[in-house]
Amino acid sequence: MTIATPGRRAVLALGTSLALLGAGPALAQTKEVTIAHQDMLVPLRTVMESGELEKTTGYKISWRMFGGGGDVIRAMASGDVQIGEVGSAGVATAANQGQDVKLFWILDDIADAEALVARNGSGIASVADLKGKKVATPFVSTAHYQLMAEIKSSGVDPKSVTVMNMRPPEIAAAWERGDIDAAFIWDPVLSKVKSNGKVIATSGSIGKKGFPTFDGMVVNAAWAAKNEAFMVALVKALAKADAAYRAGQAKWTVDSGEVKAVAKWTKADAKDVPEAMKLYRFPTLQEQASATWLGGGAAKALADTSAFLKEQGRVQEVKPSYAPFVTTKYVQEAMK
């Protein structure tokens, strides 16, 4: 999914134009970027809709929507995407695969924005009742990580539960058909399944047991080093959008431009957006840089998630430290 680029900049003198052409693709690449996004309901969607980042930086930005974090990190590994929205499980996977990426922004503290929902009539009233049932979630996602953590911490044998790998749209379709008994998912699909189901656990309740999750933004480290000014501008735009939401949450109504933008870019139903967004927390610039997040907490969460991924056979070994995959550089620059 892409949006229009800003208006034409002034035409350069002929000699300058030829010099730029002679510089080749490497120079041109510094003024273009592909950013992968998912369907999380976050204030960033207003930036995407307004085109303000393009106007501020002069970059041509291609916004591409992906169905899950696994798809995003594969696209980044191939070089098709330079910046991407990925849940903490996806960030950990990229790090363990040896991708040269940096987590530079906490898009959201998931809090209660993801949940395990049991279908009405499924006979599931607690996690213990998942035995023999079909539960869907996107693999290598924050939801998958917390689902398995909750199953194990509740004393349920993971092998007794049929955990199915489905992307959000596939979960919505399977739920409609009655093919699954429960799902651990986020909005906009979460709102749909909750209309015919019961919440058994939330990301917030599981996080309090020692398994917190977040959605973040990662960047190809080499690309970021060559495009520092853009990175700082992006962080400033993210912080501005989050601050506007925190300060004017009451104005984000179904008919507001902000909610319409979120609905458009995530394919969510606008009527579900205001309440769903209240389930997330959006850290301030100062909180981003603190020990809770980019200053230490994020790296610990990645280590814990990596241990889970190893148990699942998704990675071969856990890194001694995940600090090298996290940076406060652009947040610190944005605060100056």
Q: Tell me: pLDDT of 231 over 50.
A: yes
Residue that the structure tokens 């949940």 belong to: 115
> In the structure, what pLDDT confidence band is assigned to residue 316 with cuts at 50, 70 and 90?
confident
Q: Tell me: pLDDT of 1 over 90.
A: no
Report residue 247: phi and psi, to 5°: -80, -30
Q: Give the percent of the chain with pLDDT over 90.
A: 82
Q: How crowded is residue 30: how many other Cβ atoms within 10 Å of its Cβ?
A: 14
Residue 99 in tokens: 């991708």
Report residue 125: phi and psi, to 5°: -115, -15
CB-CB contact of 6 with 58 (8 Å): yes
d(CA 59, CA 65): 19
Higher pLDDT, 8 or 195: 195
Side by side, which strands form the sheet with 101-109?
60-65, 32-37, 83-87, 214-220, 101-109
Cross-strand bridge partners of residue 35: 63, 83
Q: 246: closest CA among 268, 275, 277, 273? A: 277
Q: What is the pLDDT of residues 191-217, one digit of tens each?
A: 999 999 999 999 999 988 888 899 999
How much is the mean pLDDT over the chain?
A: 90
Task: Note the pLDDT of residue 309.
Answer: 86
Task: Note the pLDDT of residue 202.
Answer: 96
Which helix (H) or strand (E) is 105 found in, with range? Answer: strand 101-109
Q: Tell me: pLDDT of 82 over 90.
A: yes
Q: What is the pLDDT of residues 137-167, one digit of tens each?
A: 999 889 999 999 999 999 999 999 999 999 9
Higher pLDDT, 30 or 335: 335
Burial degree of 49 (CB within 10 A; 0-12, 13-18, 19+): middle
Task: Note the pLDDT of residue 312.
Answer: 82
Task: Note the pLDDT of residue 210.
Answer: 84
Task: Note the pLDDT of residue 30.
Answer: 62
> In the structure, what pLDDT confidence band is assigned to residue 241 with cuts at 50, 70 and 90?
very high
Task: Give how far Cα 212 sits from Cα of 68, 201, 326, Å.
Answer: 19, 13, 17
Domains present along the chain, CATH in parentheses: 14-110+213-334 (3.40.190.10), 114-207 (3.40.190.10)
Its pTM stands at: 0.81
Task: Note the pLDDT of residue 17.
Answer: 37
Cross-strand bridge partners of residue 33: 61
Task: Note the pLDDT of residue 2.
Answer: 33
Q: What is the pLDDT of residues 23-75, one digit of tens each?
A: 444 434 469 999 999 999 999 999 999 999 999 999 999 999 998 888 999 99
Q: What is the pLDDT of residues 255-313, one digit of tens each?
A: 999 999 999 999 999 999 999 999 999 999 999 999 999 999 999 999 999 998 898 88
Task: Note the pLDDT of residue 21.
Answer: 39
